[in-house]
Amino acid sequence: MRIGVLGSGEVGGHIAKKLAALGHEVMLGSPHAKDKADEFPGIALGTAPEAAQHGEWVVNAMEGATALRVLKDCDLDGKILVDIGNIESSIDGPLETPLGQQIQENHPTARVVKTLNSTSAHLMVDPGQLPARHTVFVASNDDKAKSEVVSLLEDFGWQDIVDLGDLSACRGMEYLAAAWIPINKALGTTDFALSLVRKES
């Protein structure tokens, strides 16, 4: 499958490399992508609009305001858009409209699926690096798109995938991402994750 990954930072880099390792045709899109050819061998590099045009799917690995600005110039019509980003204000202030919902409102024909936004970048693509099973959450207004993204998460190695329903769940998901910051500072490592412990029915 052809997938465009928008953002060449730590998150976008991990996602692009994993997708390529799984056999997908990946294009990484960012203003700095072409300066990182040595870092991404075998992965096509271009601008964000070029990567979005390349992809049958698009992955947003950019933070809030940047994502909203960059996506304005991208063709997302009918495409699954996997949103991993967060609105910056959720870190230290009230969250008015979560990023996933804003993207869906701005691009009504895109099939937005929110996931992986509260997980360390290296664990997003290899959750087995931790000794215990941990949880990833997913939400979308499009059940079919969500099901397809769940299959990709399983390809990444995720075993505990919790469906939170439609994109109204983005608020809680992005507040979970805000909690990641103080936990990271307290532990001094990114080698941690959240696990949803529940009584088996």
pLDDT digits (tens, 9 = 90+) for 135-173: 999 999 999 999 999 999 999 999 999 999 999 999 999
Rounded CA separation 90/171 (Å): 9
pTM assigned to the model: 0.95
Asked if 85 and 64 count as a contact pair (C-beta separation under 8 A), the reply is yes
pLDDT at 34: 75
- Output the pLDDT for position 174: 92
Q: According to the model, what pLDDT value does residue 100 have? A: 96
Average pLDDT estimate for 7-26: 96
CB 2 within 8 A of CB 55: yes
Q: Is 29 helix (H, G, I), strand (E, B) or coil?
A: strand
In this model, does residue 88 exceed pLDDT 80? no
Q: Provide the 3-class DSSP secondary structure of residue 121.
A: helix
pLDDT band with cut points at 50, 70 and 90 for residue 33: confident
Assigned CATH topology for domain 2-187 = Rossmann fold (3.40.50)
- Across 86-101, average pLDDT: 74
| DSSP helix/strand/coil, 53 | helix
Does the pLDDT value for residue 5 go beyond 80? yes
Q: In the predicted model, what is the mean pLDDT of residues 102-111?
A: 97
The domain locations on the chain are 2-187
Distance (Å, whole) CA 95 – CA 172: 10
